[in-house]
């Protein structure tokens, strides 16, 4: 046999478990550079956009006809996949 206090406690716990709580999701991405994607798109003032070795590699790809000038610009801006 249950007392009224026990029934009330069980009901409150059940209701508490059913409440929805908002989740906080941080939307800040880390700056990621890889061999395939050496230029970031987050911070245009960082050193990767002025790295002469990286710029020379992109220029060489344009000269070889592997990419267009427009594609080179997007790569340097970090806007490619």
- In tens, the pLDDT along 11-48 reads 555 555 566 667 766 656 666 677 777 888 777 678 88
Q: How far apart are CA 70 and CA 59, in angstroms?
A: 12
- More confident of the two residues 18 and 63: 63
| Residue 1 DSSP SS3 | coil
- More confident of the two residues 29 and 9: 29
CB-facing half-sphere around the CA of 7: CA atoms within 13 A: 4
Mean pLDDT of the residues in the chain: 75
> What average pLDDT score do residues 40-67 get?
88
Instruction: Dihedral sign for Cα 33, 38, 40, 41, please.
Output: negative
| Residue 26 DSSP SS3 | coil
The answer to whether residues 48 and 39 touch, using CB atoms and an 8 Å cutoff, is yes
Q: In angstroms, what CA-CA distances link 25 with 22, 40, 47?
A: 10, 22, 29
């Amino acid at each position: 046999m249950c007392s009224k206090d026990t029934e009330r406690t069980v009901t409150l716990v059940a209701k508490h478990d059913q409440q929805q709580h908002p989740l906080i999701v941080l939307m800040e991405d880390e700056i990621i550079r890889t061999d395939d994607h050496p230029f970031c798109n987050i911070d245009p003032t960082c050193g990767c956009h002025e790295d002469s070795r990286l710029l020379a590699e992109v220029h060489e790809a344009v000269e070889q006809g592997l990419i267009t000038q427009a594609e080179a610009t997007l790569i340097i801006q970090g806007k490619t996949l």
